């Protein structure tokens, strides 16, 4: 008997307080992972976790031949499989075909409880992928695979370099199994109906023939029970063992009850049974599952690498370097990565040296030194002088997107609708089982002959899947619409936060203004060699003004650059030859008398002596004023430049907007924090260079970019510069997405209420219930998809 739950109960395995206690052998566990570890310990004759701690070398998992995975430790194979590899950190992504329910997710994401070498594991349920972070000093890649296999989740490993082909073959394999089950269920269903014709037509005849037909129906139903419906039965059994209830439990109960009742009728001679309903039920359930899988695949909102993601790099073409979008890169291409740019694909360093910041990948900010011949991984950010790389692996933007969604960059806000769905899904199955029991009691008294069919219909027709699919499909399809129109968001949860935004904060340089057709002039005295050196120095930076100056200068013959540094919001410095160069703000270069001009001013100092300044006249992006006028809420503009551009910004933003100049990154962050403390939901738009702190602090941080490869991983989205005038339309569209989610919630609840009421009153057969259950999910998916497409066409007309 399960002990009474106490609020002070501690997990028998890890000692943590139990909020949702799971019991095994009268022992409390805080989660399925802890309970599984306990079961493994027990299987290895270890009395408790303390014994294991005293004997850390003891094999915990069930016996398995680890030699089967020894080949994974070969360097060449590790290089193919690992998406990141260092002495203390490795990352691998495995396709795990046996993932099928929430229990699988729980167990796989708690692998670190089985081996301290596992740092973290995350499961992508839709793609059946598990991403495992591990410490190679404590556990080998072969051991990781063995550990997964030992708990029932053996990875399907292929060394094919074509990731798309690999995923396609994996999906096809799963589809083949489903089709095989569907074929067997369909064959048996058709023949059971054939042998049941005498009963359907009420024909009189030899009873022995009817008995033969009845026993043939039993034989035909056995493959359906032991093979075709195993997904439902296995899922329900695992859920039962873990003392959890999922949606497959009522389905499995209904199927077993229908088969058992039918078998009893034939054995006892009471009647012909319901094997036609049983086999038909399984057949239509599988048809629904197949149709759902095809629908989800066709509407998949997992963005491919060709969707809008404005990450571009310099590629060597002939005798020149030209910017290209990352998905155009191929293995063997030579690319140049500048300071603070992201490496888009696994590569080898051909020339140059510096440091690589892998915090984007591992979450640790300790830079790694690189030099000629070093292997660098996608997602690393360069610190220092530019380096030339050779691409070693085809670009994987899905990999970069997954890095962008690293937990260390996530914001604390939790999806309100996800919490509602989670609570509803947890209680739904218990409610359905309760209704089924009450229905059985009523029909047992009213008409016992109808009891089994009606109870089965109740168990079949109720489905929380439609409710669970509402939010991901609405926001997921909205992600696709945003991507098609130049706004690439990190994940679907950002849309919910966008819908709540009521205050906008803009950066100026690179956001409000842009560098297309700039006018650049220089006041001062510099030799052609010094101008060539400044051109080279500015080419190392990705700041918009540095890029403009570098492109405006044509002098050649620059010297060797060393000791390069870039200080955000201040400038860049380096030694070229025997001279020290500084290019940047007045304070950074030691200017006492600031130039009075409406253009952006960039000063030059050589050996601490100010030699002049560049005036960069940039233009304001077109059609911003109508967008700002349409916005009904607070607006602010923050700039690190001086107030020389105040009049132009005032004419753009109007008299009600706050315009703040000479703002450093810390000032911008504080301004947004103060707005939030006043109750505002803030969207910050910046260039992603000097605004990373502000973008992270904002409820929604958007990096505005044109053709640069630099963005901050702490931002929530990337907006193509020319699409900035549509910002208010994107926000309104996100509000419409929230309305669609609410409408789909209502639709789902109405379906379940109406369907269950028909089933309880005996107006719904199990076969119709089996057809309606997947149709409810598909109807919600179609409703959300069509609604999103319609509102997007209205808001985002060309």
Beta partners for residue 509, in sequence order: 513
pLDDT in tens, 418-472: 555 555 655 777 787 788 889 989 998 888 888 877 887 787 777 666 666 677 7
pLDDT average, residue stretch 678-696:
83
Residue 170: its pLDDT value, please?
45
What whole-number distance in Å separates Cα of residue 760 and Cα of residue 436?
Answer: 8
The residue that leads in pLDDT, 630 or 707, is 630
Write down the mean pLDDT value for the chain.
Answer: 78
Token output for 588: 């950074």
Residue 244: its pLDDT value, please?
61
Through-space distance between the first and last CA atoms of the chain, rounded to whole angstroms:
66
Using pLDDT thresholds of 50, 70 and 90, give the confidence band for residue 188: very high
Using pLDDT thresholds of 50, 70 and 90, give the confidence band for residue 13: low
| Contact assessment for residue 100 and residue 154, using Cβ atoms and an 8 Å cutoff | no
Residue 233: its pLDDT value, please?
83
Q: 150 pLDDT exceeds 50?
A: yes
Residue 22: its pLDDT value, please?
61
Give the distance, in angstroms, between the CA of residue 576 and the centroid of all CA atoms in the same chain: 45
Nearest to 475 by CA among 777, 790, 737: 737
| Contact assessment for residue 471 and residue 646, using Cβ atoms and an 8 Å cutoff | no
Environment class of 674 (CB within 10 Å of its CB; exposed 0-12, middle 13-18, buried 19+): exposed
Using pLDDT thresholds of 50, 70 and 90, give the confidence band for residue 184: very high
Three-class HEC string of 77-118: HHHHHEEEECCCCEEEEEECCCCCCHHHHHHHCCHHHCCCCE
| Contact assessment for residue 643 and residue 661, using Cβ atoms and an 8 Å cutoff | yes
Residue 98: its pLDDT value, please?
73
Count the Cβ atoms, other than its own, within 10 Å of residue 25. Answer: 9
Nearest to 220 by CA among 251, 247, 185, 250: 185
What whole-number distance in Å separates Cα of residue 729 and Cα of residue 630?
Answer: 10
| Contact assessment for residue 402 and residue 490, using Cβ atoms and an 8 Å cutoff | no
Beta partners for residue 565, in sequence order: 573
Q: Which domains does the chain have, with CATH numbers?
A: 66-170 (3.30.70.100), 174-293+420-473+736-796 (no CATH), 310-405 (2.70.150.10), 487-513+621-734 (3.40.50.1000), 519-617 (3.40.1110.10)
Count the Cβ atoms, other than its own, within 10 Å of residue 479. Answer: 26
Q: 479 pLDDT exceeds 70?
A: yes
pLDDT average, residue stretch 253-277:
82
Count the Cβ atoms, other than its own, within 10 Å of residue 299. Answer: 15
- Specify which of 95-99, 242-246, 398-402, 768-772 reaches the highest per-range mean pLDDT: 95-99
| Contact assessment for residue 686 and residue 704, using Cβ atoms and an 8 Å cutoff | yes
Q: In sequence order, which residues have a C-beta less than 8 Å from that of residue 685 and are 6 or more positions away?
A: 504, 505, 506, 507, 511, 702, 703, 704, 719, 724, 727
Residue 294: its pLDDT value, please?
63
Q: Which residue's structure tokens are 């990373």?
A: 692
What whole-number distance in Å separates Cα of residue 547 and Cα of residue 122?
Answer: 39
Distances (CA, A) of 215 to 106, 187, 207, 208, 219: 43, 17, 12, 11, 6
What whole-number distance in Å separates Cα of residue 762 and Cα of residue 748?
Answer: 21
Q: 205 pLDDT exceeds 90?
A: no
Token output for 772: 């309606």
pLDDT in tens, 38-83: 665 555 444 444 444 444 444 444 445 567 788 888 888 888 888 8
pLDDT in tens, 374-390: 998 887 888 888 899 99
DSSP codes, 469-515: HHHHHHHHHHHHHHHHTTEEES-THHHHHHHT--EEEEETBTTTEEE
Beta partners for residue 185, in sequence order: none
What whole-number distance in Å separates Cα of residue 624 and Cα of residue 728?
Answer: 10
Residue 348: its pLDDT value, please?
93
Nearest to 755 by CA among 776, 741, 782, 735: 776
What whole-number distance in Å separates Cα of residue 600 and Cα of residue 593?
Answer: 15
Q: 36 pLDDT exceeds 70?
A: no
Token output for 369: 């030194």
| Contact assessment for residue 111 and residue 120, using Cβ atoms and an 8 Å cutoff | no
Total number of residues shown for the chain: 798
Distances (CA, A) of 583 to 36, 528, 609, 645: 60, 16, 12, 21
Using pLDDT thresholds of 50, 70 and 90, give the confidence band for residue 304: very low
Q: What percent of the chain has pLDDT over 90?
A: 18
The residue that leads in pLDDT, 30 or 195, is 195
* DSSP annotation of 373: T
């Amino acid at each position: 008997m399960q002990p009474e739950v106490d609020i002070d109960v501690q997990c028998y395995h890890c000692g943590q307080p139990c909020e949702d206690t799971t019991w095994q052998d009268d022992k409390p566990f805080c989660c399925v992972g802890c309970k599984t570890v306990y079961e493994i310990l027990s299987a290895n004759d270890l009395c408790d976790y303390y014994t294991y701690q005293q004997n850390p070398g003891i094999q915990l998992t069930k016996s398995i031949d680890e030699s089967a995975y020894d080949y994974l430790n070969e360097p060449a194979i590790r290089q193919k499989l690992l998406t990141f590899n260092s002495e203390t950190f490795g990352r691998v992504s495995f396709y795990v075909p046996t993932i099928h329910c929430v229990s699988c997710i729980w167990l796989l994401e708690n692998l670190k409880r089985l081996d301290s070498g596992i740092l973290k594991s995350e499961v992508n349920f839709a793609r059946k992928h598990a991403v495992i972070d591990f410490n190679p000093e404590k556990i080998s890649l072969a051991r990781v695979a063995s550990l997964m296999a030992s708990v029932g989740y053996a990875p399907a490993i292929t060394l094919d370099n074509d990731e798309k082909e690999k995923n396609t073959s994996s999906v096809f394999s799963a589809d083949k199994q489903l089709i095989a089950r569907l074929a067997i269920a369909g064959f048996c269903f058709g023949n059971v109906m054939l042998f049941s014709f005498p009963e359907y037509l009420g024909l009189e005849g030899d009873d022995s023939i009817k008995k033969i037909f009845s026993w043939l129906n039993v034989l035909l139903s056995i493959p359906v029970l032991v093979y075709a419906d195993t997904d439902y039965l296995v899922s329900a059994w695992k859920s039962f063992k873990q003392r959890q209830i999922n949606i497959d439990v009522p389905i499995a109960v209904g199927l077993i009850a229908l088969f058992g009742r039918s078998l009893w009728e034939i054995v006892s001679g009471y009647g012909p049974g319901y094997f036609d309903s049983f086999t038909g039920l399984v057949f239509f359930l599988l048809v629904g599952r197949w149709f759902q899988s095809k629908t989800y695949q066709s509407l998949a909102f997992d963005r491919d690498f060709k969707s809008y993601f404005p990450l571009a790099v310099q590629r060597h073409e002939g005798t020149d370097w030209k910017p290209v979008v990352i998905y155009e890169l191929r293995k063997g291409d030579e690319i140049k990565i500048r300071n603070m740019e992201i490496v888009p694909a696994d590569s080898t360093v051909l020339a140059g040296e510096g440091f690589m910041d892998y915090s984007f990948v591992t979450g640790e900010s300790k830079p790694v030194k690189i030099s000629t011949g070093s292997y660098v991984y996608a997602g690393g950010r360069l610190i220092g002088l530019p380096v030339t790389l050779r691409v070693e692996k085809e670009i994987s933007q899905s990999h970069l997107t997954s890095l962008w969604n690293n937990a260390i960059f996530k914001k604390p806000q939790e999806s309100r609708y996800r919490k509602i769905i989670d609570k509803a899904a947890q209680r739904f199955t218990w409610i359905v089982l309760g209704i089924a029991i009450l229905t059985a009691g009523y029909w047992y008294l009213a008409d016992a002959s109808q009891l089994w069919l009606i109870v089965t219909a109740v168990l079949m027709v109720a489905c929380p899947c439609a409710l669970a699919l509402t939010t991901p499909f609405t926001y997921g399809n909205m992600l696709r619409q945003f991507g098609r129109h130049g706004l690439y968001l990190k994940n679907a949860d950002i849309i919910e936060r966008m819908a709540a935004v009521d205050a906008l904060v803009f950066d100026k340089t690179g956001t409000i203004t842009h560098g297309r057709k700039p006018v650049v002039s220089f006041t001062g005295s510099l030799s052609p060699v010094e101008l060539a050196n400044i051109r080279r120095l500015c080419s190392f930076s990705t700041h918009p003004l540095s890029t403009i100056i570098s492109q405006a200068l044509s002098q050649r013959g620059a010297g060797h650059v060393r000791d390069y540094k870039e200080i955000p919001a201040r400038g860049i410095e380096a030694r070229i030859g025997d001279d020290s160069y500084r290019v940047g703000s007045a304070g950074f270069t030691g200017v006492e008398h600031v130039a009075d001009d409406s253009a952006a001013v960039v000063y030059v100092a050589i050996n601490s002596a100010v030699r002049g300044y560049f005036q960069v006249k940039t233009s304001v992006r077109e059609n911003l004023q109508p967008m700002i006028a349409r916005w009904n809420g607070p607006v602010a503009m923050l700039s690190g430049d001086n107030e020389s551009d105040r009049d132009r910004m005032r004419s753009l933003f109007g008299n009600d907007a706050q315009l703040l100049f000479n703002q450093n990154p810390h000032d911008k962050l504080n301004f947004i924090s103060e707005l939030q403390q006043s109750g505002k939901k803030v969207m910050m738009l910046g260039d992603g260079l000097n605004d990373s702190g502000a973008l992270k602090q904002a409820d929604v941080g958007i990096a505005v970019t044109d053709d640069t490869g630099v963005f901050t991983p702490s931002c929530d989205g990337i907006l193509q510069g020319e699409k900035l005038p549509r910002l208010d339309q994107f926000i309104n569209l996100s509000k419409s997405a929230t309305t669609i989610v609410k409408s789909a919630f209502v639709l789902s609840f109405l379906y379940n209420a109406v369907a269950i009421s028909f089933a309880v009153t005996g107006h719904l057969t199990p076969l119709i219930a089996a057809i309606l259950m997947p149709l409810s999910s598909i109807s919600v998916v179609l409703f959300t998809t069509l609604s999103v497409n319609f509102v997007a066409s209205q808001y985002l007309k060309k």
